[in-house]
A and B are shown apart, each in its own frame.
Chain A
Amino acid sequence: MLAESLDLLTTIPFWIAVLRIATPLILGTLGVLLCERAGVLNLGIEGIMVAGAFAGWLTVYQGGGLWLGVAVAAAVGALIGLLHGVLTVTLALSQHVTGLGITLFAASLASYAYRVSFPKVSSPPTIQPFAEMAWLPIPVLDAQTPLTLLALLLVPVIGYLLYRTPLGLAVRMVGENPAAAEGQGLSVARVRIGAIMAGSSLMGVAGAFLTLAAFNAFYFNMVNGRGWVCVALVVFASWRPGKALLGALLFGLFDALQLRLQQSGSGLFGVSVPYQVYLMLPYLLSIVALVLMARRAAYPQALMKPYRKGER
């Protein structure tokens, strides 16, 4: 089995699959990273991805361009992020419970809106998704959609913003030491809500990738825990954009590997394995990643600590 997998690693279609699986995870993990760097846990990601997937798809279905769909998904994400920000930053509600509430709300709202818009359809209506970038002279990348390129480009962009600009410094500061940030004349609430909105818009785009690039229609369970995986990946990445990319690619690698093994039907070490075991691997892997990194995790110091001016 080992030789088989090593052979696999040298084929181009395999790496195409890796990058395709990794794309929504890159976008989602960067989104979580932005929120958490500012000190706020955003468990709304799972629902925001569903809402982004639906909003993006609906825009294109109604005749909008594909990029307009992406923009709408980002805007919907930012709007839900604003709600999360008001609840967790302004009102200082529990970030865990609020995030879950946002996920339930966004996902059920998207399902409701889908059924109101299409009460009778049995098979989901389709759209023409993003085309591959065949014009690009780079192997593997030439079989991806522009959204993958966008995700890859966002990694250095967000890294630059976080570490090289005053804005990034402000975001990191409110996540590490909000009192000091306030002392510098920053509004902690404004920076935090801004970061949540930016991060949530990336989560919306991550969802839109599923309907506008990976598939061509909206399905109810299409996000299927990818959001939670992103929350685990950001811990694995120690809240660094570069490592987030690495984590998402590693995850994509293992996921593509299990897909191939599942299809090949040769089983693990000669023993035939039910397909459910393969499907469990990504989730188990995320838990293992969390456990492995737990000791070394450099949590933003003010993560999940609400800040009220003048209070200690």
Chain B
Amino acid sequence: MLRLEKRALPSRVAMLVAPFAAVAFTLLVTSLLVAWAGAPVGRAYALLLEGGFGSAFALSETLTRATPLILTGLSAAVAFKARLFNIGAEGQLYLGALAAVAVGGQHGGSGFALATWLLFPLMMAAAAASGALLLLGPALLKSRLGVDEVVTTLLLNFVVLLFVSLMLDGPMKDPTALGWPQSVTLQEALQLGKLVERSRLHSGLLWALVLALLLWAQLRFTTTGLQIRAVGANARASAFAGMPVGWVKVKVALLSGALAGLAGAIEVAGRTGYVTLDMSPGYGYSGIVIAMLAALNPLGVVAAAVFVAGILVGADSMSRAVTVPTYIADVIVSVSLLAMLVAAMLAQYRIVWQRGASRAR
């Protein structure tokens, strides 16, 4: 008879196949929804693919969208690696964006008169620091008092969004924007250059790629990286081996929050130029999906972010051509998260053929 048996180590092949199997399963399930909306399934998916990856313009749009997603994906990946469930990347992103404009915005028409080589790093540092500090609170509450960080970070997302709204109504309001809540614009010199002429693709993508590489190297080759992986695998054993578990988690929280904060700053400096209340359509939450699809590997995060961005961009262009609501993108992304969880679990098992009906245990 056939039986599932747990492997001592997850199979490498199975781990590589898992995300593709999950995505294939997802597209199969969501094709039912596409059919329900009355659209021809094959054509709809072809349009989605074309809209996301099918032309130079589509690719530039997808990579533009992937930039913040890589950063929030990295933020979730490093936190989850240490079993710190940071669901607050959305709030950290907004606070980072706000901090960037606070430092580099054209307040009173001009803003701080500092040299760009000084102001630009200050702006990025402010964004990273505000994201990091926003996560530090929940992380400390978790380690000191045992308060579940999932609920506190989730609730803080709502608080931060209201805080941003407050600032856009008050001190950071753009006086020239008529009624629409919008912050002052970033100084011209601080905005990121375009990678491709006549597209929205900006050098923030390079930032994201470099950070992914750095994080990968850190997790793999440094002592801190080893500690992060060890604490995530078994906190008690790590403490027993003499690792400063609490300190490692604080470092992870600062790192994860900083990455999400940078996502906000780079989005402002590269794409929008100012903060609005709808600048992120849930990039923080999508980051979690991306981290899981990448099995928490920073380099995998890049690939997963490009995939998710392609789905989001492609769904937008598909819904203009056939009658499928854009919400199909969110359904695809969420189903692929659940499917990926199952696939990653199954990758730890193997099917064994066993003679006779005797069952182990």
Binding site for B on A (CB under 8 A): 43, 87, 91-94, 96-98, 100-102, 104-105, 107-109, 111-112, 115-116, 119, 224-225, 228-229, 231-232, 235, 274, 276-277, 279-280, 283-284, 286-287, 290-291, 294-295, 297, 310
Bound-complex Cα distance A102 to B288 (A): 13
Which residues of the partner chain A approach B163 to less than 8 Å between Cβ atoms?
Answer: 276, 280
Question: In whole angstroms, how far apart are the Cα atoms of A292 and B323 in the complex?
Answer: 50
Instruction: Give the distance in Å from the alpha carbon of A108 to the alpha carbon of B342 in the complex.
Output: 20
Whether the Cβ atoms of B345 and A91 lie closer than 8 Å is yes
Q: Given contacts A116-B36, A274-B166, are A105 and B148 in contact (CB under 8 A)?
A: no
Q: Which of B140-177 contact A (CB under 8 A)?
A: 141, 145-148, 150-152, 154-156, 158-159, 162-163, 165-166, 169-170
Q: A274, B330: Cβ atoms under 8 Å?
A: no
Decide yes or no: A112 and B33 within 8 Å by CB, A87-B338, A97-B341 being known contacts. yes
Q: Across the interface, do A93 and B341 meet the contact criterion of CB distance under 8 Å?
A: yes
Per-position binary interface string of chain B over residues 348-361, scored 1 when its CB falls under 8 Å from any chain A CB and 0 otherwise: 00000000000001
A sample of 26 inter-chain contacts (CB < 8 A) reads A94-B341, A97-B288, A97-B292, A101-B337, A101-B338, A101-B341, A104-B285, A104-B334, A105-B334, A105-B335, A105-B338, A108-B334, A111-B325, A112-B33, A116-B36, A225-B155, A228-B151, A228-B154, A228-B155, A276-B166, A287-B152, A287-B155, A294-B146, A294-B147, A295-B145, A310-B361
CA distance in complex: A104, B323 (Å) = 22
Closest to B336 in A: A101
Using a CB–CB cutoff of 8 Å, the interface residues on chain B facing chain A are: 33, 36-37, 80, 85, 87, 141, 145-148, 150-152, 154-156, 158-159, 162-163, 165-166, 169-170, 285, 288-289, 292, 323, 325, 327-328, 330-331, 333-335, 337-338, 341-342, 345, 361
Complexed CA–CA distance, A28 and B133 (Å): 31
Residues of A within 8 A of B170 (CB): 274
Taking the closest CB of chain B, its distance from the CB of A199, in whole angstroms, is 17
B146 touches A93 (CB 8 A): no
Decide if A280 touches B342 in the complex (CB within 8 Å): no
Q: Which 4 A-B pairs have the closest CB atoms?
A: A108-B330, A115-B325, A104-B334, A112-B327
Known: A107-B330, A119-B323, A228-B155. 10 other contacts (CB 8 A): A87-B341, A100-B285, A100-B288, A101-B334, A104-B285, A112-B327, A116-B37, A277-B162, A277-B166, A284-B159
Give B341's nearest chain A residue, CB to CB: A93
For A277, give the chain B residue with the smallest CB separation. Answer: B166
User: Whole-angstrom distance between the alpha carbons of A107 and B361 in the complex?
Assistant: 42
Known contacts A112-B331, A228-B154, A290-B151; is-contact A280 B159 (Cβ 8 Å): yes
The residue of chain B having its C-beta at the shortest distance from the C-beta of A304 within the complex is B148
Complex interface: chain A residues within 8 A of B162 (CB): 276-277, 279-280
Residue of chain B at shortest CB distance from A84: B338
Chain B neighbourhood of A224, CB < 8 A? 158
Which of B288, B327, B333, B335 is packed against the most chain A CB atoms within 10 Å? Answer: B327
Q: Is the CB of A112 within 8 A of B361?
A: no
Nearest CB in chain A: distance from B253 CB, A? 16
Contact A287 B342 (CB under 8 A): no
Query: Contacts A287-B155, A294-B147: A108 and B331 contacting too (C-beta < 8 A)?
Result: yes
Roughly how many angstroms separate A112 CA and B331 CA in the complex, as a whole number? 8
- Nearest-neighbour CB distance to chain B for A312, whole angstroms, equals 12
> Would you give the shortest CB distance from A174 to chain B, in whole angstroms?
20
Is B288's CB under 8 angstroms from A291's CB? no
Give every chain B residue within 8 A of A294 (Cβ-Cβ): 141, 145-147
- Do residues B147 and A111 form an inter-chain contact, with CB atoms below 8 A? no
**In the complex, how many angstroms separate the beta carbon of B326 from the nearest chain A beta carbon?**
8
Residue of A nearest to B332 (CB): A108
How far does the Cβ of B99 sit from chain A's closest Cβ, in whole Å?
18
* Cβ B338 vs Cβ A232 within 8 A: no
* Interfacial chain B residues near A116, Cβ < 8 Å: 33, 36-37, 325
Residue of A nearest to B319 (CB): A115
Name the A residues within 8 Å of B289 (CB-CB): 101, 104
Q: Report A-chain residues with C-beta under 8 Å of the C-beta of B325.
A: 111-112, 115-116, 119
A277: B residues at CB distance < 8 A = 162, 166
How many angstroms between the C-alpha atoms of A231 and B85 in the bound complex?
15
Give, as a whole number of angstroms, the nearest-CB distance from B212 to chain A.
Answer: 21
Cβ–Cβ < 8 Å partners of A235 in chain B: 148, 151
- CA A295 to CA B180, docked complex, whole Å: 45
Instruction: Check B337 against A104 for contact (C-beta < 8 Å).
Output: yes
> When the two chains form their complex, are residues A283 and B292 in contact, meaning their CB atoms are under 8 A apart?
no
Min CB distance, B170 to chain A, in Å? Answer: 7
Tell me the smallest distance from the CB of A262 to a CB of chain B, in Å: 13
From B37, B145, B333, A104 is in contact (CB under 8 Å) with B333
| Residues of chain A within 8 A of B323, CB atoms compared | 119
When distances are taken between beta carbons in the complex, the residues of chain B under 8 Å from A291 are 141, 145, 147
- Give the distance in Å from the alpha carbon of A174 to the alpha carbon of B44 in the complex: 46
Query: Closest CB of chain A to B348's CB: distance in Å?
Result: 11
